[in-house]
């Protein structure tokens, strides 16, 4: 069957608002052509991020009512701890309010000046938390992972030769741990193979280094392994997930992605010494070790989300519907990062708008064009986001991140249609200049002018 069927029916609806073109022209001018400064109510289809934007199930909402709000030892905490132990095999589970809180605790303990932390590609909060301690964050994804049109089934893989070279150059004593991000968010949501994770484990064993996962999208990654890796297709996603976690000494997780909740995070550890020190920091800034900055109801919803995310009907629909958007755009001649990743489609904006040079922000011009034409919100990942330091980013991209279980296939058809219409009239996309910018992280608040 060709039709992608959502493996759920809809029990609660939330209206979204159609705006007129005139309204959107005014809203764009008022927001100084920065889509972060537009109210969500004025967006028809919001593809800004897949983080914390998913829809919860009826069982998760039932869990919200069941939540035990006791300060210490709440029943909801034990429900979550049991689920995560069963899913990952990790004995020590620390709850946090989101992924970056787990990163902050971990790197406060193992980071510091002179340290070097390798990863396939550090996510921006991971990098920021590492650098905040004075340590250095190094990206070692394979070469294919850096090229938009290079096809590779596991474009998120770590370059094992480069990892070993880095360990030898820096000296193993300067490397507190090796990290791998699954799926590789900053590299287009591309998966990492089980074989590659085993290779990283072997190198870590050889140099006696801990191996940590940034496991925000562990279930999507496991699904790709089942689909693409030799000998894995007859195994269940749960088995593959367990294999992945069994390789690691620890993991940081944002539950806002594959936890299928709107807020929450986890830090998983094996080393008891590290657990004791992490518990101390957890209590210092997040909360007691049985709630970690969350309400009891959040823990309950998370426990259920981590169960639902490994259902194979869900993962088939999830990955296939993202792939479908990518296929249709490619068929229309629009270059995307290939093959499509798990949670998002990344459009090559320089290819889309060749008449706009990087210093006139082709990605931002496309983001503005999509909103103007169809009320769709996407995000620029190019010279606006990364160009402030004066270094040119490798690619000018626009990311369409797909929230989990929120939009139907007809919403996606509308998005595809709109992008293709903008592409046919791409000569009308207008270059931009920056009218004002803050000293750092300018993409959130910069003001633009259309030229």
Ligand X SMILES: *Cc1c(COP(=O)(O)O)cnc(C)c1O
Q: Is 129 an interacting residue with respect to ligand X (CB under 6 A)?
A: no
Among 90, 123, 314, 324, binds ligand X (CB under 6 A): 123
By DSSP bridging, strand 344-348 and strand 178-181 are unpaired
Coil, helix or strand at residue 403 = coil
| Binding-site member from 214, 229, 279, 298 for ligand X (CB under 6 A) | 214
Using the 8-state DSSP alphabet, how is residue 121 labeled?
A: S
Give min distance, CB of 393 to ligand X, in A.
18
- Residues of this chain, 258-297, that bind ligand X according to CB under 6 A: 265
Query: From the list 92, 100, 226, 297, which residue makes contact with ligand X (rule: CB under 6 A)?
Result: 100
**Residue 42 touching ligand X (CB under 6 A):** no
Tell me how far, at minimum, the Cβ of 102 lies from ligand X, in Å: 8
Residue number, 110 or 216, with CB nearest to ligand X: 216
Question: In the structure encoding, which two tokens stand for residue 236, read together?
Answer: 């269940």
**Helix, strand, or coil here: 147?**
coil
The alpha carbon of 105 is separated from its chain's Cα centroid by a whole number of angstroms, namely 20
Give the per-residue contact string, 304-343, with ligand X (x = CB under 6 A; - = no): ----------------------------------------
Residue 126 CB, shortest distance to ligand X, in Å, is: 5
For ligand X, the closer CB: 55 or 128: 128
96 scored as a contact of ligand X (CB under 6 A): no
Please check whether residue 267 is in contact with residue 99, taking contact to mean a CB–CB distance below 8 angstroms: no
For ligand X, the closer CB: 218 or 407? 218
Q: Which is nearer to ligand X, 223 or 448 (CB)?
A: 223
Strands annotated E in 255-378: 265-269, 344-348, 376-377
- Candidate ranges 144-152, 161-169, 240-248, 252-260; the one touching ligand X (CB under 6 A): 252-260
Output phi, psi for 103, to 5 deg.
-65, -40
User: What's the CA gap between 122 and 106, in Å, rounded?
Assistant: 14
Question: Two tokens at 192?
Answer: 């990492």
Q: Which is nearer to ligand X, 88 or 350 (CB)?
A: 88
Report the distance separating Cα 294 and Cα 80, nearest Å: 12
How far is the C-alpha of 80 from the C-alpha of 340, rounded, in Å?
A: 32
Single residue of 57, 125, 232, 364 touching ligand X by CB under 6 A: 125
Residue placing its CB nearer to ligand X in the complex, 214 or 396:
214
Q: Beta strands of 203-313 (E only): which ranges? A: 211-214, 250-254, 265-269
Q: Does 53 bind ligand X (CB under 6 A)?
A: no
| Residue 76 or 254 having the CB closest to ligand X | 254
Pick from 34, 88, 98, 193: which binds ligand X (CB under 6 A)?
98
Are 436 and 34 contacting, i.e. CB atoms less than 8 angstroms apart?
Answer: no
**How many other C-beta atoms can be found within 10 angstroms of the C-beta atom of residue 420?**
15
Q: Tokens standing for 388?
A: 């402030």
Count of residues engaged in binding ligand X, rule: CB under 6 A? 15
Stretch that binds ligand X, among 5-13, 22-30, 93-101, 291-299 (CB under 6 A): 93-101
Residue whose structure tokens are 């496309």: 366
Say if strands 344-348 and 397-401 run parallel, antiparallel, or are unpaired: antiparallel
Do the bridges between strand 397-401 and strand 379-381 make them parallel or antiparallel, or are there none, so unpaired? antiparallel
Residue 115 in the binding site for ligand X (CB under 6 A) = no
Check binding of 221 to ligand X (CB under 6 A): no
d(CA 134, CA 77): 34
Binds ligand X by CB under 6 A, chosen from 126, 157, 196, 321: 126
Choose which of 216, 349, 415, 434 interacts with ligand X (CB under 6 A).
Answer: 216
Nearer to ligand X, 51 or 290 (CB): 51
Question: Exposed, middle or buried: residue 322 (CB in 10 Å: 0-12, 13-18, 19+)?
Answer: buried
Q: Does 120 bind ligand X (CB under 6 A)?
A: no
CA distance 321 to 293: 34
The DSSP code for 340 is -
Task: Decide whether 368 or 401 has the Cβ nearer to ligand X.
Answer: 401
Closer to ligand X by CB, 67 or 259: give it.
Answer: 259
Residue closer to ligand X by CB (options 435, 441) is 441
With CB under 6 A as the contact rule, the residue among 63, 95, 99, 342 that binds ligand X is 99
Instruction: Judge whether 177 and 212 are in contact, CB under 8 Å.
Output: yes
Residue 336 is classified by DSSP as B
The residues of the shown chain that bind ligand X, judged by CB under 6 A, are 51, 98-100, 123, 125-126, 181, 185, 214, 216, 254, 256-257, 265
């Amino acid at each position: 069957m060709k039709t992608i069927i959502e493996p759920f029916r809809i029990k609660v609806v939330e209206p979204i608002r159609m705006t007129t073109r005139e309204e959107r022209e005014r809203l764009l001018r008022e927001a100084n052509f920065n889509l972060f400064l537009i109210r969500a109510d004025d967006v028809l289809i919001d593809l800004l991020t897949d983080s914390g934007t998913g829809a919860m199930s009826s069982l998760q909402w039932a869990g919200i009512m069941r939540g035990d709000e006791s300060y210490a030892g709440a029943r909801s905490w034990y429900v979550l701890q049991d689920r995560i132990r069963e899913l990952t095999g990790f004995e020590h589970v620390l709850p946090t309010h989101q992924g970056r809180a787990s990163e902050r605790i971990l790197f406060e303990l193992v980071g510091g000046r002179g340290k070097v932390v390798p990863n396939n590609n550090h996510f921006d909060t991971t990098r920021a938390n590492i650098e905040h301690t004075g340590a250095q964050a190094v990206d070692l994804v394979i070469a294919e992972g850096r090229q938009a049109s290079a096809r590779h089934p596991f474009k998120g893989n770590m370059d094992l030769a480069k990892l070993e070279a880095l360990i030898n150059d820096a000296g193993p004593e300067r490397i507190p741990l090796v990290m791998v991000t699954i799926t590789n968010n900053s590299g287009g949501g591309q998966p990492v193979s089980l074989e590659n994770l085993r290779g990283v484990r072997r190198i870590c064993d050889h140099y006696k280094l801990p191996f940590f996962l940034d496991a925000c999208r562990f279930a999507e990654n496991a699904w790709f392994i089942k689909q693409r890796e030799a000998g894995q297709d007859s195994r269940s996603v749960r088995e593959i997930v367990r294999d992945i976690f069994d390789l690691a000494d620890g993991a940081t997780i944002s539950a806002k992605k594959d936890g299928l909740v709107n807020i929450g995070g986890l830090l998983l550890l094996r080393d008891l010494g590290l657990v004791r020190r992490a518990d101390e920091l957890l209590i210092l800034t997040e909360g007691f070790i049985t709630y970690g900055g969350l309400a009891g109801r959040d823990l309950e919803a998370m426990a259920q989300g981590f169960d639902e995310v490994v259902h194979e009907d869900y993962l088939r629909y999830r990955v296939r519907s993202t792939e479908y958007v990518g296929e249709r755009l490619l068929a229309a001649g629009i270059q995307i990062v290939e093959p499509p990743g798990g949670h998002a489609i990344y459009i090559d904006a320089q290819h889309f708008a060749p008449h706009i040079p990087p210093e006139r922000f082709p990605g931002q011009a496309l983001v503005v064009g999509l909103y103007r034409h169809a009320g769709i919100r996407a995000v620029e990942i190019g010279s606006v986001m990364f160009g402030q330091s004066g270094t040119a980013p490798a690619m000018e991209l626009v990311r369409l991140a797909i929230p989990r279980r929120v939009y139907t296939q007809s919403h996606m058809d509308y998005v595809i249609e709109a992008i293709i219409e903008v592409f046919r009239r791409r000569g009308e996309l207008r270059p931009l200049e920056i009218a004002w910018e803050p000293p750092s992280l300018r993409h959130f608040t910069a003001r633009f002018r259309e030229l």
